Amino acid sequence: MAGTELQSTHDDVVAEVPSAEWGWSGEAPKFFRVMAVVAAVFLLLMQIGNHEGHVEDLYLIGFAVVLLLIVAVDAIRRRKPR
């Protein structure tokens, strides 16, 4: 049964977190927030076009509002002390 024991070595850590080989092993929350705002702006700009129906506009506005609400809730949660 010695072959089934887990050994704690540096190789195990690298295997669990592949990005550790590059020297970075985390998330980029600021990048995600900025990209959510950029995506929301892009969705709102997509209303400019040659379509005649306005159902598409409602979906574009709705998705943009949802993205902006997620960013706003995240900003409020980061300000509150834990």
The predicted model scores a pTM of: 0.65
Residues comprising the chain, all counted: 82
Predicted local confidence at residue 51, as pLDDT? 79
Predicted local confidence at residue 13, as pLDDT? 46
Digitized pLDDT (tens) for each residue of the chain, 82 residues in all: 555 555 555 544 445 666 656 666 567 788 899 999 999 999 999 999 887 888 999 999 999 999 999 999 999 998 877 7
**Domain ranges within the chain, ordered by starting residue:** 2-79
For residues 66 and 63, give the distance between their C-alpha atoms in angstroms, rounded to a whole number.
5
- The answer to whether the beta carbons of residues 57 and 16 sit under 8 Å apart is no
Handedness of CA 32, 80, 25, 6 (dihedral sign): negative
